[in-house]
Amino acid sequence: MSMILWWPVGGAKYRIRGHRRFAEHLAYVQQNGLAQVVSLVTKEGKPFGADPRGGPWASVIRHDRAFAESYAKLEVEQYKLIVNGMMRSLLDRDTALGAEPEDLLRLNIPALVVPGRDESHATSVARYLEECLPKSEYWDVLPEAQTEDTAPARVLQFLDTVTASKK
């Protein structure tokens, strides 16, 4: 087993933007109620990433009428507590989201870490994963140099190395 982490998600701007999306949703809920969230999502059909007002369950609301009906009847203050907890748990750091560093440090899996460089894929996140994954290889190439000529060759080189080490 091996893994390729291409443009891992995270970073300060990603966390801040994510918190802002949740805050926009909660403000909409506070002003309009959950039934209006259902109405908005049903009418507009946009997922949470495209329109934060619809919230993290927008896609489910759009496709599951029974869920949408139950959702609209939730108690707003309890709902806000759930969403705030969800936001704090999902977007709790400026590094890579997910596993704790102590867990990553115990992984004995070869990994190729390829940095991104935008507001959702901070280069610092890729460096963090390089640091935390003991058997990682970091491809120190900025995205503009990750081309169709260079990228496949680098991935194949990594996979060849992993395969050769298993023999």
Q: Specify the range with the lowest mean pLDDT, choosing from 19-33, 59-73, 91-105.
A: 91-105
Contact 42, 61 (CB under 8 A): yes
φ and ψ at 114, to 5 degrees?
Answer: -115, 120
What is the distance between the alpha carbons of residues 95 and 10, in angstroms, rounded to a whole number?
6
Average pLDDT over residues 109-138: 97
User: Which pLDDT score, from 0 to 100, does residue 166 have?
Assistant: 78
Residue ranges per structural domain of the chain? 3-11+95-166, 13-90
Please state the pTM of the whole predicted model: 0.86
What is the distance between the alpha carbons of residues 158 and 18, in angstroms, rounded to a whole number?
33
Average pLDDT over residues 15-40: 98
Distances (CA, A) of 107 to 126, 130, 135, 138, 158: 16, 12, 8, 16, 18
What is the distance between the alpha carbons of residues 34 and 40, in angstroms, rounded to a whole number?
10
Is the model's pLDDT at 167 over the cut of 80?
no
Strands (E), the chain: 3-6, 111-114, 136-138
The average confidence (pLDDT) of the chain is 96
Structure tokens at 164: 């050769």
pLDDT digits (tens, 9 = 90+) for 36-78: 999 999 999 999 999 999 999 999 999 999 999 999 999 999 9
3-class SS of residue 135: coil
Residue with tokens 């900025």: 142
What is the distance between the alpha carbons of residues 128 and 134, in angstroms, rounded to a whole number?
11
